[in-house]
Copies of this chain bind each other. A is one copy, B any other.
Amino acid sequence: MNMVEIIVAPNAGFCFGVKRAVKLAEESADIAKEGRRVFTLGPIIHNPQEVGRLKSLGVEPLEGERPQEGDAIIIRSHGIPPNKERELKEKGFKVIDATCPYVKAVHEAVCKLSEEGYFIVIVGEKNHPEVIGTLGYLEECKGRGIVVETLDDLKEAFRHERVGVVSQTTQSEKFFKEVVGELALWVKELKVINTICNATSVRQEDVYQIAPQVDVMIVIGGKNSGNTRRLYSIAKSLNENSYHIETADEIVPSWFEGVKRVGITAGASTPSWIIEDVKSKIEEICRGSSCFSS
């Protein structure tokens, strides 16, 4: 008997940067095993189960502890200002940098644009850790600029002739477009480096690809999660046999009767181990007799 073929969407669940940060945290658990302590600078993701799981491996958020020789600290995917990183090193931490490469690209972009003489506009939220990190890099490379959270914030930029624009990686495309359009009318020269990470849109593109070519499409994620519900609605429009579940427990074996190919995707707040759980559960069901009963 052949196994069912399961296609997990390449961009299911956490974005690339968060996946990478969690992987680095897991790998750091080896350090914890050697008796040294491993901290993360703030919760590594906004998912208590996942933070709990990492804690059980010996990796936990820093809460005012003083480092001891060899203690490690993980910088989250958001990144931090460079002076803050130096401070951690000076305190004696071994720094593990899990800053998302897409966020590093923003740091590089603001410095490149500054060196080219542009006044910088960072389209983003003023108090977001990622933006605070980027502002730190802008200061480090002696650049000048502002964070634009509302169109009103733009006024200051209008006074400059040459403006360079980047975006917080998770910024809304709609607002970014508005800001760039306004600036184009006001300043003489505008250089835009689009640093929006397209995790949400590629996750949706995956569903457009996969749902039509499978017998059953499973969408994992909170029932109250907007981005998951949108994934499910796309899946359902393309494949009648689409199901929205939160965990593997909700899987009904009869969904897979006679099924040869199953697609899986997951919303942004779903850790990969939940996706793996679902995959295993389906494999288990299809190791029995039901999958190829027809």
Contacts and interface: CB of A to CB of B under 8 A. Distances in A.
A182 B177 contact: yes
A30 interface: no
Nearest to A191: B191
Contact of A194 (B176, B184, B192): B184
- Which of A178, A185, A193, A196 has most B Cβ within 10 Å? A185
- Which of A182, A193, A196 has most B Cβ within 10 Å? A193
A282 to B, nearest CB: 36
A62 B180 CA distance: 44
A173 B185 CA distance: 7
A230 interface: no
B193 A189 contact: yes
How many copies of this chain?
2
A12 B190 CA distance: 30
A64 interface: no
9 contacts: A178-B181, A180-B181, A184-B192, A185-B194, A188-B193, A188-B194, A189-B191, A190-B191, A191-B191
A187 interface: yes
Contacts of A190: 180, 190-194
Interface in A157-172: 165
A174 to B, nearest CB: 9
Nearest to A163: B192
Given A177-B181, A189-B192, A189-B194, 15 more contacts: A165-B184, A176-B185, A177-B182, A177-B184, A180-B181, A180-B190, A181-B181, A184-B192, A185-B194, A190-B191, A190-B192, A190-B194, A191-B191, A191-B192, A192-B192
A193 B163 CA distance: 11
Interface of A: 165, 173, 176-178, 180-182, 184-185, 187-194, 196
Contacts of A191: 189-192
A180 B190 CA distance: 10
A109 to B, nearest CB: 9
A74 to B, nearest CB: 29
Contacts of A182: 177
A178 B193 CA distance: 17
A173 B186 CA distance: 10
A257 to B, nearest CB: 43
A93 B184 CA distance: 40
- Which of A178, A187, A194, A196 has most B Cβ within 10 Å? A194
A12 to B, nearest CB: 23
A184 B176 CA distance: 8
A177 B180 CA distance: 8
A283 B188 CA distance: 41
A154 to B, nearest CB: 13
**Ordered nearest first, which 4 A-B pairs have the shortest CB separation?**
A177-B181, A181-B181, A180-B184, A190-B192
